[in-house]
């Protein structure tokens, strides 16, 4: 495996970080409801995220442009447990990744599988197991399994995060973009909303790019904007379920030059996403989210004192389902 291929694998590792029954409307048109997370001490929720799609990566090697088409399919399982609830309703959530499997096919020649098995990261190329390269940008099992501790406001705004896994997952286009938009990809307004009404969010955050602690980490300032609409309020098993449509964009702020300072430097980036979320108003937590991500990046791979120009375009589908323990 060449150093450049390992670098591509490292980038892909970072890029890889999210059917209800027929319901009937129950809320009258114009009835306003409060959208908010309701954190409960000890509440434990399991989530499963799937992500699949195609990427087209361009590499400038020795002045020659080479295209690297990639297909990707990933599944990740996580557990979230509320360990504290403040007087203001903010919850401290401990998240662990229980399992992950990512399959990639490059140039219709290489089939790469990276899987978390019994706490160990296993890599195979064309069916043959290989040692996971020890280099910046490629995660270790510890990077993935280290717990993430998040403090989240009832509006879904992520107030703080700690833990290696949070930095790893927040670099996933779409998954990370949605997380920046709000906990579980949702950020709510302070005022109540009726069906058909909308709200917008805008924030500037530091997006980790690379695996911190391995020499591959670097922060890139990005602007996150979303437009959200309460599409309907339905009923399932006696609970009111809010259906929310979201469109959003993650981009470098106007006039910004990007950066990174680690294994990768980002000079241009636009990630747009759309999603439909289902949120249990009575329980105060999401039940599912499905969306699409389109991304376009221009960056350079820093290796042995040299910069390799790269660009990456792609479309991904992301879905996440949630289920509480015992349900």
**327 residues of the chain, pLDDT tens digit each:** 554 444 444 444 444 442 222 333 444 456 899 999 999 999 999 999 999 999 898 877 767 778 889 899 999 999 999 999 999 999 999 988 888 899 999 877 889 898 987 778 888 989 888 887 765 556 677 777 788 888 999 999 888 877 755 545 444 433 344 444 566 678 899 999 999 999 999 887 766 655 444 444 456 778 889 999 999 999 999 999 999 999 999 887 765 555 555 566 777 888 899 999 999 999 999 999 999 999 898 877 766 667 778 888 999 999 999 999 755
| Cα distance between residue 321 and residue 277, in whole Å | 10
Res 31: pLDDT: 82
Site of tokens 């509440």: 43
**Domain spans of the chain?**
3-324
Residue 279: C-alpha distances to residues 45, 108, 122, 199 (Å): 14, 40, 35, 16
Look up the CATH number of domain 3-324. Answer: 2.30.230
Specify the length of the chain in residues: 327
Alpha helices in the chain (DSSP H): 3-15, 141-145, 164-169, 175-181
d(CA 93, CA 86): 12
- Map residue 14 onto helix, strand or coil: helix
d(CA 186, CA 254): 25
């Amino acid at each position: 495996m060449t150093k450049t291929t390992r670098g591509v694998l490292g980038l892909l590792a970072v890029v890889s970080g999210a059917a209800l029954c027929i319901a009937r409307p129950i809320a009258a048109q114009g009835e306003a409801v409060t959208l908010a997370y309701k954190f409960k001490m000890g509440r434990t929720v399991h989530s499963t995220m799937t992500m699949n799609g195609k990427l087209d990566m361009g590499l400038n090697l020795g002045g020659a442009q080479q295209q690297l088409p990639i297909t990707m399919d990933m599944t990740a399982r996580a557990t979230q447990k509320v360990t504290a609830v403040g007087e203001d309703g903010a919850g401290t959530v401990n998240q662990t990744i229980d399992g992950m499997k990512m399959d990639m096919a490059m140039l219709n020649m290489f089939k790469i599988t990276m899987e978390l098995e019994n706490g160990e990261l296993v890599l195979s190329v064309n069916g043959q197991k290989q040692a996971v390269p020890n280099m910046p940008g490629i995660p270790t099992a510890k990077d993935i399994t280290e717990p993430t501790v998040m403090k989240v406001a009832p509006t879904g705004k992520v107030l703080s995060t700690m833990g290696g896994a949070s930095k790893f997952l927040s670099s996933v286009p779409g998954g990370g973009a949605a997380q920046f938009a709000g906990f579980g990809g949702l950020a709510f307004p302070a005022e109540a909303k009726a069906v058909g009404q909308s709200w917008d969010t805008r924030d500037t955050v530091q997006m980790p790019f690379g695996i911190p602690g391995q020499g591959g980490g670097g922060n890139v300032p990005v602007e996150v904007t979303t437009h959200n609409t309460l599409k309907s309020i339905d009923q399932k098993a006696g609970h009111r379920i809010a259906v929310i449509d979201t469109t959003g964009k993650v981009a470098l702020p106007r006039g910004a030059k990007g950066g990174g300072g680690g294994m990768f430097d980002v000079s241009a980036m636009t990630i747009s996403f759309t999603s439909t979320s289902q949120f249990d108003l009575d329980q105060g937590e999401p039940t599912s989210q499905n969306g699409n991500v389109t991304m376009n990046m221009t960056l350079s791979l820093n290796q042995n004192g040299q910069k390799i120009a790269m660009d990456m375009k792609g479309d991904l589908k992301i879905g996440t389902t949630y289920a509480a323990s015992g349900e």
